[in-house]
Chains A and B, each alone.
Chain A
Amino acid sequence: MSKEDYEIVIGLEVHSELSTKTKIFCSCPTEFGGDPNTHCCPICMAMPGALPVLNKKVVEYAIKAGLATNCEIAKECKNDRKNYFYPDLPKSYQISQFDIPICSNGYVEIDTDNGKKKIGLTRIHIEEDAGKLNHDAYGRGSLVDLNRAGVPLIEIVSEPDLRSAEEVESYLRKLKSILEYIEVSDCKMQEGSLRADVNVSVRKKGAKEFGIRTEMKNMNSFRSIVRAINYEAERQIEVLEEGGVVTQETLRWDDVSGKTFAMRDKEDAQDYRYFPEPDLAIIKISDEMKEEIRKTLPEMPEKRRERYISEYKLPEYDANVLTSEKALSDMFEKATEVCNNPKAVSNWIMTEIIGFLNSKELEAKEIPFTAEQLGNLIVLIDKGTISSSIGKKVLNKMFEEAKEPKVIIEENGWIQISDEGAIKEVVIKILEANPQSVADYKAGKDKAVGFLVGQAMKETRGKANPQMLNKMFLEELNK
């Protein structure tokens, strides 16, 4: 048998940090970074006698996430303690939710080669993040930083509905875009605010039973997740093909070697001794509260995509790319409002802006200039104040300085030459310098005009109005 005879089954547990201002059980800031142990207090440091108080915003955000992913919202739920010892877990238990999660039975829809597919969500629950260990590079010990301890998380558990690494990537991108759209998480993967535990198993095609699964914890890049799934599935198939059995275990993906390694064996299997958190009250969610939150849900990506196609007449491809990230989509809409030229905005975002972001490995929300500034830039091009090639230079400057395009153009003297006399001077000069091209044109080679315009642009360092140049060259040549 070969690889093609097997089916990969994947389920994900996605942890997403919520973007509330304060932590889940105290009023410390959730802000990323900061000197170690500066964003903490007796509560999140688990000093003796300190008690948690649940941040209501966390409940609201979790409900919002549940509503955006078609979940049922519990009328009543509770917090539970998950007990284990680790230096980054100051209370020696994590306050989480065990048997009654806040949201359950939802789904998200992804695009696959065979059309749309619903990926089931078993549950979404709220919990607190742990701190961080900083290991001394010289092996002298580890230091505990509790700034992250108590930052609110939601854990989104999918059904084992995913069948390939590609589906997983598309599911994760979808989830990320939903969470960004509803503004409950900023999903910064490199800061760990979106990370996934990936459960992988394989089975013979047509088999009814699932295979034995392995789990890879705390993955925080799409690329690693895709590689890890493919590697792990192949490894499991190999084990099975050789007549072995897959061991249920937790693995660590090593990005450098491109392999998975066992993290802990079964003997260390943890018994978390979950029990209801006695320091917190039952969480009650009324229908009114649920409906209030539902009203705050923004237009979701699918709706926007459809609107971009019908209202702005964008190609489906453009609409897909623009709506994949809320920051891009918002920028598109606001810039279009300013310049009233949706296709031009789309082109600038899709080629220049995304290209720049990719080359610098930046995320869309890190774009320094505003959508209005982009709109203004396009207005200047449309009015002929600058050419589009100057426009690109202006945009590059905007990434550096975030100034108004007008200011950048003035500061650099990039205003387009549209004065007839000045253009005529350049045209005459270029014609005199390129007799061969003139001869070519007279001999019927129309392309020579393009060359001459190019030379003129070079002479003016791109500032001459290209339409006027073209017109004037033709007039002179045809004299």
Chain B
Amino acid sequence: MELYELTVHELIEKLDKKEITISDITKSYLSRIKEKEDDVQAFVTVTEKEALEKAEELDKKETRTKYMGIPIGIKDNICTKGLKTTCSSKMLENFIAPYDATVMEKINNENMITLGKLNMDEFAMGSSTEFSAFKTTKNPWDLKRVPGGSSGGSAASVASNMVPWALGSETGGSIRQPSSLCGTVGLKTTYGLVSRFGLIAFASSLDQIGPVTKDVEDNALLLNVIAGYDSKDSTSKNIEKKDYTKALVNDVKGLKIGVPKEFFGEGINDEVRESIIQAIEKYKELGAIVEECSLDIANEALSTYYIIAGAEASSNLGRFDGIRYGYRTKNASNLKEIFVNSRTEAFGPEVKRRIITGTYVLSSGYYDAYYKKAQKVRTIIKDKFNELFSKYDVLITPTSPTVAFGIGEKTDNALEMYLADLCTIPINIAGVPALSLPCGVDKEGMPIGMQIIGKHFDEETIYRAAYTYEQNTKFRETYKPYFKK
């Protein structure tokens, strides 16, 4: 077995036993990148030289700490000091961040090794990675299909073993949906659990960084590193630091699972529905108490999301004006032309669409009908989740209505693309945590993800449910990406 096939907890075990060196691991992954990156196209930047140097340096250290030398891939909207951070946009094609995001400080403090920056939909807007200005990442299970998005590079690189784990970011499903489509484990953390400082903002009230991993244990291990209060982010919550690996218990007896029936109706692919129902049956078998419930908010959540996220994005992306950094047009004879032409030339179609929508909903005369109303609906959606969580420990739904779709299939139809996040977006609106866990494949062998939703700041119960399912089903051992051409 190659080292790149192992999970992080397996790598840590081998390092602890001194069976392997950090350089062995780094070289193994770099060789895997050489082998698969041409097909998968998950990276914007690969930091081969820096990674090898750091591995050698770390191998010389006498004492080792838990995460020392573990490679990681970083979504390209997380600022990395001295390294390009592009958001997969022409706007930031050559932007080198002058500082590290808080999560990067944490990762560097643990002496992990960054293998590179991962492709995404431009400014995290999209559900297929096709809106990257540089390249379309391919699904490692079938190279003619999308990996999902916007953290498509994160999910595809983990699924194809080019990195052992990665950081992604979510605004509306951007970790869970690609995790579902690529067969990885992806967690959207509770809003406020992980610092957003240094995450290039898309929609501030929704954005969260989260782990994309090969299994549940790795997911908890990576969350242990990145979670925690940050005085530099006023929206991060000051709660006690937890050890999430303590929640990795193979037992769901008595766990109360709610199954919102609306997430199994129209628009959900039959095979996906069947697979999730099977998974729920498994939970019953393992002793969980399962009950059907109602959460009739999917459509409202989608509209609310596109209004709020668009509004915040239209303002957040204003700083890309061609003045201080990033792309500046060569075709300008006055100030207004610098602004207008720089943005026109450097932003892609989906980013423009969202900026225009967002500007519109905030405009005087429309604010009350859209933005203000959306905020009210947001409160209602939060309340509905709270209500359900007074009865259930977790909710289970499909992550994505379908398995991975074909490249080019939805790029011309924004609305259809938006429906790819039908099941994930309500969770972002409510700010609660949710994890996508692989639970099967369809007839064509494409992975299907189950979504486990938890209470605010109760990532532990999600992990308990996910871990138990994983231990009793062994998805990873059964299915592997086959890079179908």
Provide the residues of chain A in CB contact with B87, threshold 8 Å: 48
Choose among B101, B231, B339, B367 the residue that contacts A85 (Cβ–Cβ < 8 A). B339
Contact with A along B360-373 (1 / 0, CB 8 A): 00111001000100
The answer to whether B234 and A280 touch across the interface, beta carbons within 8 angstroms, is yes
User: A46–B315 Cα gap in the complex (Å)?
Assistant: 12
A93 to B312, CA, bound (A): 11
B367: chain A residues at CB < 8 Å are 273, 275
Partner of A48, one of B311, B319, B362, B363: B319
Interface centre among A52, A90, A92, A281 (most CB of B within 10 A): A92
Bound-state CA distance A45–B199 (Å) is: 16
Check if B321 sits within 8 Å of A92, measured CB to CB.
yes
Please state if B234 and A93 are interface contacts (CB–CB under 8 Å).
no
B interface residues with partner A (beta carbon < 8 Å): 77-79, 85, 87, 92, 95, 97-99, 101, 196-201, 203-205, 231-235, 311-312, 314-315, 318-321, 323-325, 335, 339, 359, 362-364, 367, 371
Q: How far is the CA of A50 from the CA of B101 in the complex (A)?
A: 9
For B196, what are the chain A residues with a Cβ–Cβ distance below 8 Å? Answer: 51
- Set of chain B residues within 8 Å of A52, measured between Cβ atoms: 234
CB within 8 A of A49: which of B197, B231, B318?
Answer: B197
Main secondary structure of the interface of B (DSSP, over half): loop
Select from chain B the residue with minimum beta-carbon distance to A25: B234
- CB of A408 within 8 A of chain B? no
Q: List 19 A-B contacts (CB under 8 A).
A: A45-B324, A46-B324, A47-B99, A48-B201, A48-B320, A49-B79, A49-B198, A54-B234, A83-B314, A87-B335, A90-B324, A91-B319, A92-B319, A271-B364, A273-B315, A273-B364, A273-B367, A278-B312, A279-B235
Number of A residues with CB within 8 Å of any CB on chain B: 28
B101: contacting residue among A49, A91, A273, CB under 8 A:
A49
Whether A326 sits at the interface, judged by CB under 8 Å, is: no
Give 6 closest A-B pairs by Cβ, nearest first.
Answer: A92-B318, A273-B362, A278-B204, A278-B205, A48-B200, A49-B198
Out of B197, B231, B318, B363, which one reaches A93, CB within 8 Å? B318
Whether B79 and A48, one on each chain, are in contact in the complex, defined by CB atoms closer than 8 angstroms, is yes
How many angstroms from the CA of A93 to the CA of B313 in the assembled complex?
Answer: 12
CB pair B197 A273 closer than 8 Å:
no
Query: Which A residues are in CB contact (< 8 Å) with B79?
Result: 47-49
Q: Is A390 among interface residues, defined by CB-CB distance under 8 A? A: no
Check A144 against B235 for contact (C-beta < 8 Å): no
Whether the pair A275, B371 counts as a contact (CB closer than 8 A) is yes
Which B residue sits closest to A280, measured CB to CB? Answer: B234
Task: Scan residues 27-52 of chain A and give those whose CB is less than 8 A from a CB of chain B.
Answer: 42, 45-52
Q: Once the chains are docked, how many angstroms separate the CA of A289 from the CA of B212?
A: 44
Contact A50 B324 (CB under 8 A): no
A278-B205, A279-B235 are known contacts; what are 6 more A-B pairs with Cβ within 8 Å? A49-B201, A51-B196, A51-B233, A51-B234, A83-B314, A93-B315
Is the Cβ of A92 less than 8 Å from the Cβ of B315?
yes
A87 to B101, CA, bound (A): 25
Q: CB-CB contacts of A80-121 with B at 8 A, as 1s and 0s?
A: 010101010011110000000000000000000000000000
The reply to whether the CB of A297 lies closer than 8 angstroms to some CB of chain B is: no
